[in-house]
Structure 1
Amino acid sequence: MDFLVPFDSYLKEYRYKYLALFHALRSAIVAGNIPNGTKLPSSREMSGMYQLSRGSVNQVYDMLLAEGYVTAAVGRGTYVNYEAPDRLEHDIPVTEQIRLSDWGERISCEGAYRTDALLAHEATATSVINLEMGQPVQEGFPVEAWCHAMYQEVRQLEALRQDSEPIHPAGYEPLREAIALHLRRMRGIQARGEQVFIFNGSMQAIALLMQLLVNPGDGVVVESPGYGGIQRAIEAAGGILIANAVDEQGIIVREWTEKLLFVTPSRQFPTGAVLSLERRQQLLAWAARHKAIIIEDDYDSEIRYGGRPIEPLKTLDQEDRVVYIGTFSKTMYNGLRIGYAVLPTSLIKPMERAKQLYEPSPTSVLEQRALAAFIQNGHYERHLRRLRRIYSKKYAYFYRMMQEHVGHLFNIISCDAGMHIYAIWNGDPEAYEAFRLSAAKEGVRWSDGRRFHLLSNAPATACFGFAHLQEEDLLRGVLRMKTAWEKTKYVREPGSIIKDQKLSQISRRESDD
């Protein structure tokens, strides 16, 4: 009975031994490891092998018999009664034989999704200081107010079940109206509730927009460096990435012939550059001339702790050519997968049809209802004000520690908003890679900025997330970086670090390519 060895692995999944034995036997029969006609051990033998009572073994055999996997005859024993299908040629799994569509092939191709996290076993320190991007602040959240909003909606579940009025595919209408009002008050966007569509995070909005707006072979202008999610969504739709360089004023505007542009004007991802008013006007004029659409991703500019408030590009849009995308995952918590888009009027019906296809009934309705009440009662605006104070303090401390201890390694770009700091390496790529590996062994990691570049000769850059850590952890992380550099061979080589590189110089070199 060697074929029953997997029994131990099933014990981890099932609470009761008899269930573990049943699933181990059934899996082995279906896989053909116990051929058709094989006589199973007696209940006495089986109970001795697996320390089960004979009653439990008989129960397992009865379950297999009821499902037709075995036959039994008094005095003759229990026999397998299942003919496993022939194995496919070369034992290739069935899933690999399924023919995918062109879209399926593109989204499944190797490299469609890249991650930057260094393996945990690289670290030799007792704990890892994770400075990777995308992790919001963990303190200061109004738990009591949010729980109250959720509890109020849970209490109305019975009424919800009896409510025959379906929710619109665009989302819960009071939430759409609340977002429109918030954008008018806080961001200057003259949005109507009917223009606001709710999504399961901003990435779903981006993916659906690509399917609505991009045909295979269409070019889409993107920033370089830029957000990897939009790059993957364009490629999955069959579009062609048209990379365009950025400098300290954001994307460098050209006379593109393409009909779609993706941009992060309020806080360029990942450099943090703010698109100048002159370039905003140039982009809108380009869109008008070419009858193009601009997708504006305002991913974290609401977390502003310095400088003047930046108006979104959408506020200047007089021809209804800008799609404005926002999210609550950065300002609330990552688990709240609620994003939204403000659509031009001509896109409302097409997006409604797309949402009906993917989500005939909107998801996270309870959270949508709670969030609507949370915004309407003023909790969200108060929460944002609290967040800005927390982020401002953390940013000031982290920026100061970085300049003090590793400022000679990076040109650290100052910023007035967001959850990460962008820094340009002051040396050659080989030294940067050695430094990254050394830092991983010291127990600190960050997001490698090189993966956001599409143009050639991309500089070595880093993105340091700071919002989710306390000051003592931020300091430990910086000191570990300092130690990591001192352990590389490059620290002893004169001229290995070139100080005071400028972001504009890097961007001009990229644009020349």
Structure 2
Amino acid sequence: MNLIILNANSKTPLYLQLYKHFKAAIESNRLKEGEKMPSIRGLAKDLSISKITVEKAYQQLMSEGYIENYDRSRYTVKKFEGIVLKTPTPSIRSQDNQLDIEHNKICYDFASGDMDKEGFNFALWKGYINKAFLQKERLFGYGDIKGEDELRREIAKYIQKSRGVQAHKEQIIIGAGVQSLLSVLCSILQLEHSSIAFEEPGFKNGRRIFADHSFQIAPIPMQKDGIDMEQLVSSGEKLVYVSPSHQFPTGYIMPIAKRSQLLNWAEEKMGIIIEDDYDSEFRYFGRPIPALKGLDQRGKVVYLGSLSKIIPPSIRISYMVLPEEFLEIYQKKASLYNQTASTIEQLALAHYMADGHLERQIRRLRKLYHEKRRLFLAEIKAILGDKVEVNENESGLHILLSLKSELPAKMLAQKALEKGCRVAPVQDYYLERSPEKLPQVLLYFSKIPAEEMKNGINLLRNAWFSAQ
């Protein structure tokens, strides 16, 4: 294989550079029919790039018919018949235009977990914003790097009461979204680690952030009681990213026995668990499951929480609880960090929480979404019937739908989009190929008005089954 040279300073993304290299090699017959492509993991290691970068290049080559892949074995070069028509690689601007076109024709966004339009009292929130403006002396500086003191105290009380997590305010870091906090965490973990295990399927944006910080990603399959512990142990990894209280996208909840196994693994391997407490508030039967961090007696769990499903995501506030052993490292590197969350909104939220409104908001949303979920499932059963299988769970704002169709999930998503409905193929949340026999899509109900659910699901039926 010819030497591959990638330019990290180029405006052309690395995956496109890699794609162009192999495309030219196949077109010039330097890579011949049936020849095996380098393994994704091996090539990523040789070029010091992420596996995701290699995968994107290979996926583009495969979609254009240059290479093929059977039964998850290594990619091989397909027979090349010569160029009939060259299609220029779409520019970033043209891709943005396509996204704009798609966005404009969306009537029902089943791929978004945004809040119900009636789900938040903005008039009440405005009063707390005005109250924050009265603290003018606090608004001329950048604020505490960790976050405003009042808010960290309120969050410490909230997670202790609702999630069983014992933490003092100095352990809590505020950020504008989980992604910004993960970037801070990556800079701490990079000192001793270069790879991390992720649930498969799992949080794809989290994977990307770690990959962007040069971590190798090891996908570990999910079981119905959580991450596959045998495969985690055999992987040799010492970092793992999990969402035990409501796994995304499967909705599985990790039982206490496996939580204990995972904590024992961290103790034995000198490992670290990153717990993403995704959607934990929306459990409709019984009390929310206590956080894994609440069982942690050895400081092995980094805890991530977000309020983006309780208050509008435009109010960008999330939080991270660091184990004691990381606090000294954080302080040493603190000059490298900037606080990303607005001081005004932090102060407003602290007062909002102190007055008990966050707990009232959670109770209100839980009632609202419980009823919407009941209606959503009833409409799916009535309209789609035995053409689909619903992977039900007792929490969260979405369901997984398996479709009895011979079409792949991505094509079904495109057909739905043509009818004005956006859905998310579950395959998008896998790093490798999905093992599911039927195509699966993820459907959120939180944003869809209750009175329009029937019409939205009818559009999905027309998109998927009218011609079958």
Q: Deviations over 1:402-441 (max 9, x none)?
A: 122224233211122222112233344x254553333222
Given the superposition, is the C-alpha separation of residues 407 and 320 from structure 1 closer, same or farther in structure 2, using an over 3 Å criterion? Answer: farther
State the match for 1:250 in structure 2: 226
Note if 1:378 corresponds to 2:356.
Answer: yes
Identity level (%): 29
Q: 1:305 aligns to what?
A: 284
**C-alpha separation in 2, matches of 1:193 and 1:431:** 48
Query: How does 1:445-460 map onto structure 2 within 5 Å?
Result: 445-459=422-436, 460=439
- Cα gap change, 1:212 to 1:384, in 2 (>3 Å): same
Partner of 2:212: 236
Residue by residue over 1:272-316, the C-alpha shift from the partner in whole angstroms, topping out at 9 and shown as x without a partner, is: 000111110000000000110000001211122224420110111
In structure 1, which of residues 168, 174, 183 is the aligned counterpart of residue 144 of structure 2? 168
2:165 maps to 1:189: yes
1:143 to 113, 119, 122: 122
Aligned equivalents of 2:426, 2:354: Cα separation in 1 = 38
2:401/2:442 contact within 8 Å kept: yes
Give 3-state SS (helix, strand or coil) of 1:302's partner: coil
State the SS of the aligned residue for 2:241. Answer: strand
Query: Does structure 2 conserve the Cα–Cα contact (< 8 Å) formed by 1:178 and 1:375?
Result: yes
How far apart are residue 95 of structure 1 and its match?
6.7
In terms of Rg, which structure is larger? 1
Q: Structure 2: which amino acid aligns with 1:443? A: G
Find the residue that maps to 1:408 and give its secondary structure: helix
- The equivalent of 1:347 in structure 2 is 326
Partners of 2:291 and 2:170 lie apart in 1 by 19
Could you say what secondary structure the match of 1:139 adopts?
coil
Q: Is 1:424 aligned with 2:426?
A: no
Q: Which residue of 1 aligns with 2:83?
A: none
| Structure 1 residue 109: Cα displacement | 5.5
2:375 counterpart of 1:397: yes
1:330-369 matches, cutoff 5 A: 330-359=309-338, 363-369=341-347
Q: Helix, strand or coil for the counterpart of 1:347? A: helix
Q: TM-score, normalised by structure 2?
A: 0.75
**Alpha carbons 2:139, 2:343 under 8 Å: kept:** no
Residue 185 and residue 122 in structure 1: after superposition, are their counterparts in 2 closer, same or farther (change >3 A)?
closer
Q: Distance in 2 between matches of 1:362 and 1:445?
A: 30
Which residue matches 2:460?
A: 481
Change (3 A) 1:216 1:417: same
CA contact (8 A) 2:112 2:447 kept: no
Kindly state the Cα deviation for residue 193 of structure 1 after the two structures are TM-superposed. 1.0
- Provide the secondary structure at the position in 2 that maps to 1:275: coil
User: Is contact 1:169-1:352 (8 Å) kept?
Assistant: no
Decide which of 417, 433, 456 is 1:440's aligned counterpart: 417
Q: In the TM superposition, what is the alpha-carbon distance from 1:106 to its structure 2 partner?
A: 5.9
Aligned mates of 2:218, 2:97 — CA distance in 1: 27
Tell me how many residue pairs correspond in the alignment: 388
Q: Once the two structures are superposed, what CA deviation does each residue of 1:338-394 show, in whole Å capped at 9, x if it has no partner?
A: 1101110011122334443131x5641111111100101101111111010111011
Q: Which runs of 5+ in 1 are unaligned?
A: 1-93, 492-513
How many Å apart are 1:121 and its aligned residue? 4.8
Consecutive unaligned residues of structure 2, counting only runs of 5 or more, are 1-8, 15-44, 61-94
Alignment pair present for 1:226 and 2:202: yes
**1:176 partner letter:** R
Matching residue of 2:444: 465
Normalised to the residue count of structure 1, the TM-score between the two structures is 0.69
- For residues 63-111 of structure 1, give each alpha carbon's deviation from its aligned partner in whole angstroms, at most 9, with x where no partner exists: xxxxxxxxxxxxxxxxxxxxxxxxxxxxxxx974999xx9997699685
User: Which residue in the other structure is 1:201 paired with?
Assistant: 177
Q: CA deviation at 1:215?
A: 6.2
Q: CA deviation at 1:169?
A: 1.3
| Aligned-residue offset at 1:117 | 12
Contact 2:113 2:445 in 1 (8 A): no
The answer to whether the 8 A contact 1:450-1:458 is kept is no
**Contact kept? 1:295, 1:322, Cα under 8 Å:** yes
